């Protein structure tokens, strides 16, 4: 069978006991970057064989992995940090396993989006997750779509694009829209900056908010003002 196992996004203690047990018991661990994953595995004395499985080779390795599972191997899929397939490789393998009628189990665990969403202090009973915005083609279309959402939305952004992204968000949303920039979730230099989109963009420009590390941007939804319906039975006053 195939296990999809989340790994810590920062602090190495952010992993479940079940995840650790399975990583020791499976026959093979597929990792996005074996160099990164070795640090986690060595920390917990896990010596299970490790193999590279990432966005650049997954199209060519899936058939082999499916054959190995069909032959009786139990395989675990992990990414560098967080839950595989969430803005990381993994979807193609999971789909192939499902289509092959193999058993797939995804463990609950670490992901950057949920701590950022809750810690932002914005309504989170409903939310929309964008992932990474397109770099060029389609970026403006996605920004406009997000700006019109009535619920809180969240997206991932790379450090060197943070200021540009905040400036673009305030262009499409109103500059006074409440938001939060969440940086280095669960790591030593974790930081939550909260304020309006305008305030956050200025903070980055002035160096008060560092554009370093893994970043999640959380933005409040658009406030929709409902017009009161006129009473069709009300008398007109001349």
More confident residue, 96 or 235: 96
Q: Are residues 193 and 208 in the same domain?
A: yes
Q: What is the pLDDT of residue 229?
A: 62
Asked if residue 125 belongs to a domain, the reply is: yes
* C-alpha distances in Å from residue 12, one per residue of 6, 37, 86, 90: 12, 11, 19, 21
pLDDT tens-digit series, residues 150-178: 999 999 999 999 999 999 999 999 999 99
Domain count, the chain: 2
Asked if pLDDT for residue 87 goes beyond 90, the answer is no
- Average pLDDT over all residues of the chain: 92
Q: What is the pLDDT of residue 238?
A: 43
Q: What is the mean pLDDT of residues 137-157?
A: 96
CA separation for the pair 54, 34 (Å, rounded): 10
Q: Are residues 59 and 129 in the same domain?
A: no
State the CATH number of the domain containing residue 24: 3.40.1010.10
Asked if residue 206 belongs to a domain, the reply is: yes
* 8 Å CB contact between 3 and 103: no
Q: Are residues 93 and 135 in the same domain?
A: no
pLDDT tens-digit series, residues 202-224: 999 998 888 788 899 999 999 87
Asked if residue 229 belongs to a domain, the reply is: no
Q: Are residues 123 and 82 in the same domain?
A: no
Q: Which domain holds residue 100?
A: 2-106
Asked if residue 226 belongs to a domain, the reply is: no
Nearest-10 Cα torsion for 192, 198, 202, 204: 40
Q: Are residues 97 and 167 in the same domain?
A: no
State the CATH number of the domain containing residue 184: 3.30.950.10
Q: What is the mean pLDDT of residues 66-91?
A: 94
Q: Are residues 212 and 117 in the same domain?
A: yes
Q: Supply the pTM of this predicted model.
A: 0.87
Asked if pLDDT for residue 230 goes beyond 80, the answer is no
List the structure tokens of 2: 């195939």
CA separation for the pair 157, 217 (Å, rounded): 7
Q: Are residues 102 and 150 in the same domain?
A: no
Q: Are residues 193 and 97 in the same domain?
A: no
Q: Are residues 151 and 204 in the same domain?
A: yes
Q: What is the pLDDT of residue 211?
A: 79
Asked if residue 44 belongs to a domain, the reply is: yes
Strands ordered across the beta sheet of 127-132: 127-132, 152-157, 215-219, 178-183, 191-196
| DSSP string computed for 39-97 | HHHHHTT----EEE--TTTHHHHHHHHHHHHHTT--EEE--SSB-TTSSSS-HHHHHHH
pLDDT tens-digit series, residues 1-23: 999 999 999 999 999 999 999 99
Q: Are residues 96 and 161 in the same domain?
A: no
Q: Are residues 205 and 142 in the same domain?
A: yes
Q: What is the pLDDT of residue 67?
A: 96
Q: What is the mean pLDDT of residues 73-84?
A: 95
Asked if residue 143 belongs to a domain, the reply is: yes
Asked if residue 100 belongs to a domain, the reply is: yes
Q: What is the pLDDT of residue 224?
A: 75
Q: What is the pLDDT of residue 40?
A: 96
Exposed (0-12), middle (13-18) or buried (19+): which is 236, by Cβ within 10 Å?
Answer: exposed
């Amino acid at each position: 069978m195939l296990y999809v196992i989340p790994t810590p996004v920062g602090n190495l203690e952010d992993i479940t006991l079940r995840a650790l047990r399975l990583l020791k018991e499976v026959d093979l661990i597929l990792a996005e970057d074996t160099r990164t994953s070795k640090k986690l595995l060595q920390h917990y004395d896990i010596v299970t064989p490790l193999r590279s499985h990432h966005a650049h080779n997954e199209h060519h390795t899936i058939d082999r992995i499916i054959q190995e599972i069909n032959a009786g191997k139990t395989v675990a899929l992990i990414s560098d940090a967080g839950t595989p397939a969430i803005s990381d490789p993994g979807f193609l393998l999971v789909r192939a396993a499902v289509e092959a009628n193999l058993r797939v189990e995804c463990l609950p665990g670490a992901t950057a989006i949920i701590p950022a969403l809750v810690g932002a202090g914005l309504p989170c009973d409903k939310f929309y997750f964008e992932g990474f915005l397109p770099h060029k083609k389609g970026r403006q279309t996605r920004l406009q779509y997000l700006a019109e959402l009535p619920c809180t939305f969240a997206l991932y952004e790379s450090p060197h694009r943070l200021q540009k992204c905040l400036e673009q968000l305030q262009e499409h949303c109103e500059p006074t829209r409440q938001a939060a920039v969440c940086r280095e979730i669960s790591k030593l230099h974790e930081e939550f900056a909260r304020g309006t989109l305008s305030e956050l963009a200025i903070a980055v420009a002035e160096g008060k908010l560092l554009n370093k590390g893994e970043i999640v941007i959380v933005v409040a939804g658009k406030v929709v003002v409902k017009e009161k319906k006129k009473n069709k039975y009300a008398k007109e006053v001349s």
